[in-house]
Chains A and B, each alone.
Chain A
């Protein structure tokens, strides 16, 4: 028995929607400067603020006694020199993965890849230094 057109359409339509939404999600994650998700801000406030500070300037509540000072995310020059892939990697795998300080831990167990991509987009907004290489 051949499936009719309607069955085929109803089978492929949800798949198509899923595919389309995946592209939209990927587009959002790699958002240009100025576009970021509320969830990214929430994640920053939960995990990053403890060291990078409520003003995103690297002067978090933990920074006083740290032997290596956390990066100032509002520094356009310093942040602008780091490619997106490296920012992504340092969040996911920690400082040691990119030959930086062990004091930057790996956050891959609390944020998935899409959330980390959104966080990278948010960091580009904070530093006002869009970089898309």
Chain B
């Protein structure tokens, strides 16, 4: 009897181990935990309905969008990046003065263990964007005066209407940008601002038709936000 159960246990572990191992690899984690909310391959349909149905941002170009150390850290302890969730319009309700976020509809992002976060980050960084989506070397890395950049971001171009450059101040329908310097790559920020609809033809961020020097300045400012205003 003992022998039989020992054999059975051995058999079970032989069956279970490869499965567990697969779950623990980056690809396994993405497949088992991420794909229900995020696209890790370019979606076939890019219609407006899909934008309303998806639960999280697309990750099929994550390797050209995020910085790996940030990804690893965030996956273990993920504060919300979009104050009103995704898609914002599904998570707002009328308030006393203006619309407010309906917190009851927002689900916190799952947390991963340190090892799983590292494996998932590794896998996500391999999902690079096609070269025509994120142009390598597009951002020239110039330093920007924070006061000039802030004026451009706020008054002149109105980015602050939808995005927060510091916690608690600014709009809520776009992602917060006070951690963007730590979170995002410069070439991605540049390419995204230049034409958000290239990433998703129906995304609710408008194309500002900015001239090249303005794109450089705005990208530089957003990258520097973390170092100065976010802390």
Contacts and interface: CB of A to CB of B under 8 A. Distances in A.
Interface in A90-115: 94, 101-103, 105-110
Q: Is the interface of B mostly helix, strand, loop or mixed?
A: loop
A105 B98 contact: no
Nearest to B92: A61
A53 B99 CA distance: 6
A45 B197 CA distance: 17
Interface stretch (B15-23, B165-173, B220-228): B165-173
Contacts of A61: 84, 88, 92, 98-101, 171-173
B189 to A, nearest CB: 18
A26 interface: no
B45 interface: no
A109 B89 contact: no
A50 B158 contact: no
Nearest to A47: B204
Contact of A46 (B51, B84, B207): B51
Contact of A54 (B89, B197, B206): B89
Given A50-B89, A50-B162, A109 B98 contact: no
Contacts, number: 97
A123 B84 CA distance: 25
A42 B90 CA distance: 12
Q: Is the interface of A mostly helix, strand, loop or mixed?
A: loop
B92 A106 contact: no
Contacts of A89: none
B98 to A, nearest CB: 4
Interface residues of B, number: 38
B27 interface: no
A65 B89 contact: no
B94 A46 contact: no
Sorting the interface of chain A by its residue count into under 10, 10 to 19, 20 to 34 or 35 or more gives 20 to 34
Nearest to A51: B161
Contacts of A109: 195, 197, 206-207
A42 B173 contact: no
Given A60-B99, A103-B158, A105-B208, A49 B169 contact: no
Interface string A50-82: 110111000111111111000000000000000
B195 A65 contact: no
B26 interface: no
Contacts of B162: 50-51, 62
B112 to A, nearest CB: 30
B157 to A, nearest CB: 6
A63 B156 CA distance: 17
Interface of B: 48, 51-52, 84, 87-89, 92-95, 97-101, 155-158, 160-162, 169-173, 195, 197, 201-204, 206-209
Interface of A: 42-43, 45-47, 49-51, 53-55, 59-67, 94, 101-103, 105-110
Given A46-B52, A103-B161, 6 more contacts: A46-B87, A46-B89, A54-B94, A61-B172, A107-B206, A110-B204
